[in-house]
Amino acid sequence: MNNMPSNAEKYLRMEKMPHIWCPGCGNGIVLSALVRAFHKLNYDQDQTVIVSGIGCSSRASGYLDFNTLHSTHGRALAFATGIKLARPEVNVFVLMGDGDASSIGGNHLIHAARRNIDLTVVIFNNSIYGMTGGQYSPLTPQDNRATTAPYGTFERPFDLVELVKAAGATYIARGTTYHSAMLTKLIITGASHKGFSVIEAVTACPVSYGRRNKMGGGYDMLMWQKEHGVPIEKSRYLKPEEMKGKFLIGELHKSEAPEYTEVYQQLIDRVRGPIKGE
Amino acid sequence: MNNVVPLTRLMQGNEAIAEGALAAGARFFAGYPITPSTEIAEILAEKLPAVGGKFIQMEDEIASMAAIIGASLAGLKSITATSGPGFSLKQENLGFAAITEVPCVVVNVQRYGPSTGIPTASAQGDIMQARWGTHGDHPAIALSPASVQEAFSLTVQAFNLAERFRTPVILLADEVIGHMRERFVMPDASDINVIDRKKPPAGLTRYYPYKPDEDGVPPMANFCEGYRYHVTGLVHDESGGPTTKADQAERLIKRLNDKIMDHLDEITMTESLMTEDAEIIIVACGAVSRSARRAVKQARKEGIKAGLFRLISVWPFPDKEIKALSRQARSIIVPEMNLGQLIGEVERVVRSETKVSGINRVTGEMITPDEILNAIKSEI
């Protein structure tokens, strides 16, 4: 693997391999981007928590050698909020799939963003419910087929970036498994940002999504990401018609706002008042 | 801030629950507004920061349950409070806490249901939900206070049992107890027994988060205190990693139940009032037991050999104790503010050896002492 740290195994539970993901699945590429990011961030593994929800991508927590919590469907952010508020000093990452984060967990997503609690969220977006065999998610593009959309889905998808921006997230980025070096960088920047950081990782599910939509195998779907993901810097030189059907990648939003656990600590300090003797 | 609580004062049940949580060492509350439990959240929102604890009003009931599990894993004693509709929503993550063995306390101040029902009216319709609300076989401990004083002491006890057995514990209160005000005596801190979770020794080469000690309870390392491990709601082996192996699945599910059922002597709490020679025994819990107490005393005044057996811990059900009563009593009467939930358990244990009858009320009002007294008299 290109640029993989030679000590990647330090961050992985090798005894849990092989992983459960299908041939051609992009989740392993997102996992390797995470491992590269952890290597660069050099966080103490004992002082880092990884929370995930339910679904294919949420199995990633089990392969990572940290304090890991594979929680319930859609609820990862609520569990992570409890952990972060209880121990603000530790690093908390949240891994979710697109259905997990934006459908069953949609309420938790917007409220965690609203609070600007210091969590680093990586959403594996493969446009489908993979674990259950290919049902459409709120991020399945319109007219695409799924087992529950045999005639093509007519529902309008969310734009995850716009959704969490409106809800108050202070760092938002989108990467793809094709642009994996960029994805690593985005995770590092997101983790270093104080506040609620969301990194959408566009990934491929050839078995439950690509196959049904004539997108080819894992390689073809990576090439699709290459052709359709447009770095935001490059997009400035493109006409609107040239952006049609494409999506932006890179750092898409950054702002500053008070971070939840810091504000809560200030509240504690205010309520308790100066400690005698100080 | 003036945090001095007078030693003796008039106190509301919900306030006593909040005070009990603080006395037990709770330092985290996550909740969502719901009648008739909201005062618990309101009081803890004010008091937790004053002791360095954390309060958060989550976006919904589901998230509140998730947040307290997360906070408990991170090392803080954690509690949420709700009522019927919210208790329904918490069931999924209650099961998660049971299978992942994360200690926490869930207060359910019962109200009239199903659904929105009558939010301000009392009921005891969640007795079975407290036992079987979440899917799958799982252990359940539920405690039912009958006074403001007991709302305090049982909240402390709920935390102690949660920490002792690494399991969620339900404080199954009701609207009457939650909202009534009566005399409360704050015990001296030194008189309050507080149990903390058993931790693994430091310096292990490998920590197995689900490897039980002889008592069936695995020592629990908090997150970020040196042992890294995996927590999942999937059936897991002793390392915490998922497994679908038949023998490992059976061992886990049986141990989760056995760790509770093997220690009934540490969990079961009951009160007997004049049952020694009683021919007619009332079995009740919560607010209804207050009416039953009055009825039994009146019956005795009238020369009727009646007694009250009060369930302080409702789950696990005190089979052994009820069985013993059934050998002595001619008649058992089970008054409850539902269409018959506790009575099913009594009948299961008694099996037709003794007459069992119910007094059921679903008007949203209390069962009165007179109703119970009349039922006693009809058994003479």
Q: Any chain A CB within 8 A of the CB of B33?
A: no
A199: pLDDT strictly greater than 50: yes
Q: Per the domain annotation, does A184 fall within a domain? A: yes
Same domain, B187 and B307: no
Range of the domain at B295: 271-377
ipTM: 0.97
pLDDT, position A278: 47
Tell me how many residue pairs between chain A and chain B have CB atoms under 8 A apart.
Answer: 136
Same domain, B62 and B183: yes
Average per-residue pLDDT for chain B: 97
**What value does the mean pLDDT take over residues A119-134?**
97
Return the CATH number at B31.
3.40.50.970
CB contact under 8 Å between B92 and A72, yes or no, is: yes
A135: pLDDT strictly greater than 80: yes
**What value does the mean pLDDT take over residues B313-317?**
98
Return the CATH number at A98.
3.40.50.970
Q: Per the domain annotation, does B199 fall within a domain? A: no
Structure confidence by residue, pLDDT tens digits, B139-194: 999 999 999 999 999 999 999 999 999 999 999 999 999 999 999 999 999 999 99
Q: Per the domain annotation, does A277 fall within a domain? A: no
Q: Where are the alpha helices (DSSP H) in B27-167?
A: 38-47, 61-73, 84-100, 127-132, 148-165
A253: pLDDT strictly greater than 80: yes
Q: Per the domain annotation, does B208 fall within a domain? A: no
Instruction: List the single residue in B with minimal CA-CA distance to A82.
Output: B67
Structure confidence by residue, pLDDT tens digits, A21-35: 999 999 999 999 999
CB contact under 8 Å between A81 and B67, yes or no, is: yes
State how many domains chain A has: 1
Structure confidence by residue, pLDDT tens digits, B229-257: 999 999 999 999 999 999 999 999 999 99
CB contact under 8 Å between B54 and A86, yes or no, is: yes
Please report residues of A whose CB lies closer than 8 A to that of B30. 81-82
Indicate the helix (H) or strand (E) that contains A226: helix A218-228
Range of the domain at A113: 21-272
Q: Per the domain annotation, does A95 fall within a domain? A: yes
Q: Any chain B CB within 8 A of the CB of A90?
A: yes
Q: Per the domain annotation, does B284 fall within a domain? A: yes
Q: Per the domain annotation, does A4 fall within a domain? A: no
Q: Per the domain annotation, does A253 fall within a domain? A: yes
Q: Any chain B CB within 8 A of the CB of A69?
A: yes
CB contact under 8 Å between A65 and B228, yes or no, is: yes
Q: Per the domain annotation, does B126 fall within a domain? A: yes
- Measured CA to CA, the distance from residue A265 to residue B131 in angstroms comes to 38
CB contact under 8 Å between B74 and A83, yes or no, is: yes
Nearest CB neighbour to A16, from listed B30, B74, B241 = B241
The minimum CA-CA distance between B37 and chain A, rounded to whole Å, is 21
pLDDT, position A1: 45
Return the CATH number at B322.
3.40.50.920
Which of B172, B191, B210 corresponds to the end of one domain?
A: B191
The minimum CA-CA distance between A92 and chain B, rounded to whole Å, is 11
> Alpha carbon of A90 to those of A85, A136, A191, A258, B223: distances in Å?
10, 35, 12, 18, 10
What pairing do the DSSP bridges indicate for beta strands A120-125 and A171-176?
A: unpaired
State how many domains chain B has: 2
Same domain, B282 and B143: no
Same domain, B154 and B294: no
Average per-residue pLDDT for chain A: 96
Nearest CB neighbour to B66, from listed A45, A61, A71 = A71
Q: Per the domain annotation, does A9 fall within a domain? A: no
Which of B191, B220, B235 corresponds to the end of one domain?
A: B191
In 3D space, the residue among B194, B195, B224, B210 whose CA is nearest the CA of residue B74 turns out to be B224
CB contact under 8 Å between A107 and B66, yes or no, is: no
The minimum CA-CA distance between B104 and chain A, rounded to whole Å, is 12
Residues 252-281 of B with CB under 8 A from A: none
Structure confidence by residue, pLDDT tens digits, A5-19: 678 999 999 999 999
Nearest CB neighbour to A67, from listed B58, B60, B223 = B223
B6: pLDDT strictly greater than 70: no
The minimum CA-CA distance between A269 and chain B, rounded to whole Å, is 8
CB contact under 8 Å between B223 and A80, yes or no, is: no
Q: Any chain A CB within 8 A of the CB of B169?
A: no
CB contact under 8 Å between A80 and B50, yes or no, is: no
Q: Do A250 and A233 contact (CB within 8 A), yes or no? A: yes
Q: Per the domain annotation, does A2 fall within a domain? A: no
Please report residues of A whose CB lies closer than 8 A to that of B75. 86-87
Which residues have a Cβ under 8 Å from the Cβ of A54 and sit 6 or more positions away? A70, A71, A72, A73, A74, A100, A131
**What value does the mean pLDDT take over residues B126-149?**
98
What is the token pair recorded at A163? Answer: 């959704």
Which residues have a Cβ under 8 Å from the Cβ of B222 and sit 6 or more positions away? B73, B74, B75, B199
CA torsion, points B296, B301, B304, B309, in degrees to nearest 10? 20
Share of chain B above pLDDT 90, in %: 97
- Measured CA to CA, the distance from residue A39 to residue A42 in angstroms comes to 5
Which of B191, B216, B235 corresponds to the end of one domain?
A: B191
Instruction: List the single residue in B with minimal CA-CA distance to A68.
Output: B230
Q: Per the domain annotation, does B144 fall within a domain? A: yes
Residue A4, Cβ neighbours under 10 Å: how many? Answer: 11
Q: How many CA atoms lie within 13 A of B173 on its CB side?
A: 37
Instruction: List the single residue in A with minimal CA-CA distance to B74.
Output: A83
Q: Per the domain annotation, does A11 fall within a domain? A: no
Residue A95: band (very low, low, confident or very high) from pLDDT cuts 50, 70, 90: very high
Q: Any chain B CB within 8 A of the CB of A203?
A: no
